Every structure is written in C-alpha cells, then in structure tokens.
Chain A
Amino acid sequence: MPMSRGVLCALAGFVLAVFSCPGPVVAGESGVASPSPVDAAPHIDAALAAPRIDAALAPYIVGAKRSGYVYALPETRAMQDDEIMNPGFAWVERGRGLWTEVEGANGKSCASCHGPVESMAGKAVSYPKWKASMNRPVTVERQINFCRVAAMKAEPWEHESPQLLAMTTLIKQQSRGLPMSMADDGPMREWIDRGKALYFARRGQLDMSCKHCHDDHPGEKLRAETLSQAHVNGFPTYRLGWQGLGSLHRRLETCYEQMRAETYPLGSDEYVALEIFLTDRGRGLPIETPSVRR
C-alpha cells in the first residue's frame, strides 16, 4: 500500500510525541525515584521504537487513528502478517468448508446464491448495515444468520459458535486491507449515538468508561497490557490470551468483566450499538481480519 506524505508526517509526529514524553520510571529497589527513565520499560521501547520508523505501519494509521496493530509487539504483528503463522487463518479455512456445505430445507449452501466466496470482496466494509426489512442494523454475524434462516431454511448459528466465527472471519477476510466505510446517515445515526452513550458511561465497581482507557491513555501500560485506541477493524481477532479466535462482542464482554460490570448477551443491542459507534469512530482504518493480538 502506498504511503502518503500526510501519513509520514503523522508517523513522525507520533515518534516525537512518544520520545518527548517524560514517562514515569519503573519501580526500583529503593524508595527513591530514579532520575533516569531510560530503562523504564525496555520492552515498550523495543516494541514501539523500531516500528516508529517502519513504513509498514503506515497503512494502519489514518490521521490520529491507530489500529491495535500499531500497539502490538513486532512478533505479534509478524504473526498476523504471515498467513501460515496466523492462527486466525484456521477459521478462514474452516469457513471455506462451510461456504459450500449444503444445509437446511432448501438444500442450499452459501455458494448456491453467492458463487465463490471471493464475491464477498468489499462487502464487509459497510457493516454493520441498516436492514430496512428488519427495521434494525445487522452485523455480519446477523446477516449470515439471516441468510441461513431466510434463504437456506437452516438453523441460525449461535453467537460465538465455531461456525459463526469461521464464516464471519472468512467473509471479513475478503475485505482485508479495505477501509471501513459504514453508512452513518438515516437511522444509523441513532445507533451511533446510542453506542456513543455506552462508550462514555461509567460502569461497574471500578466505575470507568471505555474512554478512560482508550481515549485518555492509549499506548500506555496497564500492567503488562498496552492500551490501544479500541478500534474494531481486526475482528474477529485471534487473541493469544484466549488461545483462540473471538468476536468483538466477546472482547467487549471481557472489558466489562474487568470493570466488574454487568455484561450483556453476545449479539445484544447494546453490543451492536457499541460496535456501530466504534466502527464509525474507526472509519477509514483497514479491515485486518483475522488480526492477531496479545
């Protein structure tokens, strides 16, 4: 992907911003603050310093927006980039098998209507998408189940089931590298606002909102975790901590659990609204499915 001058400038600005930040020092043996932050967190510097001059990051930075890819360790990024090493491609392959599998009373597979899966190229960039016939927005997951029920007369797949994860990953992977460009007009506006309200609402015993980590402190360390800007362009994502691939809704649930907050069912309107707000917020970032994260 070509790198524009604007992107280069943004990258250079990021480098300066990070290097000029005094940053707290890490705990030493004594109770006295060390005057030198040089060895504060060598793993951070190793992780972020090298790629700061790495043109390969440019496609993952759009203005002030930085994909989680930018905050990932170099070895994690390398794993994502290599289709053999990227564990998420096991779900892509599984999805390919399901694409042509005939199911349901109508005796159809996905391929019966859509032909080869490559026909899905570019489709996922506009999701979640308003579906007038249902009078609601649909995620890729919900659209898949809509097809299964309406066109195939098959049972819908459970959210987070291996099948739904595999098919979602396969379909989104057909748009890998293309910028997210969901419609933000008409009835979608209301859903964006609903998700935004959730994003900024304090909740749980820890009484935090999403913005407290992801707007106020991206790039900073929360224990061993480097906080990201909470972009959704890589989902479903393979998380090393999960030893598996999961949906955005599962990730949202994990955040809520960490805040000791009530969670919602996966696929619920609350998570859909958050997904819509976050998709609008990350507009322009390229789809990375299946991404690999810590």
Chain B
Amino acid sequence: MFGKGAALLAVLLVLCSGAARSAEAPLPYQIVGKGVPVPLSGTPGNAENGRALVASRAGGNCLACHAAPIPEESDHGRVGPDLRGVGSRFGAAELRLRVVDPKVLHPDTMMPAFFRAEGLNEVAAPFRGQTILSAQEVEDVVAYLMTLK
C-alpha cells in the first residue's frame, strides 16, 4: 500500500522550522523507512489526551474523516480508513509518520500533515507558521492509536 518512492526514503532528515502550536520549540524528526521511530517529545504520549484530540474539532478532528471507538461522539467521518485496529496494523513509528506528514507515503492524500508548517500555500493568518498539533500532541495521538488493537 506504500508509494514506490517510499523505499527510497531510507533516511531523510526533515527540519521543521515552523513554530508548533505550543510554546515548546519544534524538534527535528527523522524518517527511517516508512516511519518516524524517535518520539517528537521527551514526555511519553498520553493516550487519554490523544483520544480527546482525535475527537475534538479544535484538536486533531480525526473523526471528521475517520471512524474510531469513541461512541459518545456522533457522526464519524467515512472518508478515511476506520481507525479501529490501527494499532495492530502499524507500529508507533509508522503511525507517527502518518500523523506527522502522510504525504510522504501517499502524495495525493487529502489528509493534512499535522506536524508541518513549511511548504504550505495561502495559509490563513492565524494559522501561518504553525503546525496543527504540537509535538507532544502528536505523541499523545500516537499513544492513543497504539491502544486500538
């Protein structure tokens, strides 16, 4: 299911110079194969907070496109794959890359890069230079996704 070019991405260093939403300075991350093996923050991801971010429209708003086992939220999107079982299908490194910048794997996807602030066009002023999620929030989302076995 991966793009053929992905194999060429043996090691690709990506420096994120844009400011993350939180106060912490965005860290550079390293793509290895089809994943980002090293967490973006020193604090382990909090799955409970990740679940809230997945559901929240102001957070990740993942439910806009994906269904997930969050029954208290109505109207899960059906545009993207169902997230149930995603923690069995992929490891943390692969999930991290998919949240950070899924276009590395699928150039034509409609899914946003949640940890990229560079190379975007016509971004509205309040969001310019900012990533959708902070480094810690990416880790929280990954931690939650890893619980979806």
Contact = CB atoms under 8 A, between A and B. Distances in A.
Contact of A205 (B75, B127, B147): B127
Contact of A261 (B84, B103, B123): B123
Interface string B67-83: 11111011111110110
A261 B64 CA distance: 18
A205 B70 contact: no
B124 A263 contact: yes
Interface residues of B, number: 37
Given A221-B77, A260-B123, A27 B71 contact: yes
A38 interface: no
Interface stretch (A28-36, A71-79, A80-88, A239-247): A28-36
Interface in B91-149: 103, 110, 112-113, 116, 120-127, 130, 132, 147-149
A217 B79 contact: yes
B64 A31 contact: no
B69 A28 contact: yes
Contact of A222 (B79, B81, B84, B132): B79
Contact of A216 (B110, B113, B124): B110
Interface in A5-54: 23-33, 40-41
Interface string A197-235: 000011111111000110011001111100100000000
B143 to A, nearest CB: 15
Interface string A259-289: 0111100000000000000000000000000
Interface size grouping (class) on chain A: 35 or more
Which DSSP category, helix, strand, loop or mixed, fits chain B's interface? Answer: loop
A260 B84 contact: no
Contacts of B44: none
- Residue among B73, B78, B85, B116 with the highest chain A CB neighbour number at 10 A: B78
A257 interface: yes
A222 B63 CA distance: 8
Given A222-B64, A222-B77, A224-B74, A25 B82 contact: yes
Given A24-B78, A206-B112, A260-B124, A223 B84 contact: no
A29 B78 contact: no
B110 A212 contact: yes
A30 B130 CA distance: 35
Contacts of B68: 27
Contacts of B147: 31
A201 B122 CA distance: 10
A26 B77 CA distance: 9
Given A24-B67, A223-B77, A261 B122 contact: yes
Contacts of B32: none
B149 to A, nearest CB: 6
Shortest 6 CB-CB distances between A and B: which pairs?
A212-B110, A224-B75, A24-B82, A205-B127, A203-B122, A221-B78
Given A26-B78, A27-B84, 8 more contacts: A27-B82, A28-B84, A29-B71, A31-B149, A201-B121, A207-B103, A223-B63, A261-B122
11 contacts: A23-B78, A26-B78, A29-B69, A29-B71, A40-B78, A204-B121, A205-B123, A205-B127, A207-B103, A207-B121, A208-B112
